A and B are shown apart, each in its own frame.
Chain A
Amino acid sequence: DAGVIQSPRHEVTEMGQEVTLRCKPISGHNSLFWYRQTMMRGLELLIYFNNNVPIDDSGMPEDRFSAKMPNASFSTLKIQPSEPRDSAVYFCASSSQGSDTQYFGPGTRLTVL
Chain B
Amino acid sequence: SQKIEQNSEALNIQEGKTATLTCNYTNYSPAYLQWYRQDPGRGPVFLLLIRENEKEKRKERLKVTFDTTLKQSLFHITASQPADSATYLCALGGVRGYNKLIFGAGTRLAVHP
Contact = CB atoms under 8 A, between A and B. Distances in A.
Interface in B75-107: 89, 93-94, 98-106
B59 to A, nearest CB: 13
Contacts of B99: 31, 95, 99-100
Contacts of B105: 42
B83 to A, nearest CB: 20
Contact of B43 (A31, A93, A95): A93
Nearest to A105: B43
Nearest to B96: A56
Interface of B: 32, 34, 41-46, 49, 89, 93-94, 98-106
6 contacts: A31-B99, A55-B98, A95-B99, A100-B99, A104-B43, A106-B43
Interface in A86-113: 91, 93, 95, 99-107
Interface residues of A, number: 22
B58 to A, nearest CB: 17
Contacts of A100: 32, 34, 49, 93-94, 99
A48 B97 CA distance: 13
Given A42-B106, A107-B43, 10 more contacts: A42-B105, A43-B106, A45-B100, A45-B101, A48-B100, A56-B100, A101-B46, A103-B46, A106-B41, A106-B43
A102 B94 CA distance: 13
Give the most central of A91, A93, A101: most B CB within 10 Å.
A101
Contacts of A93: 43
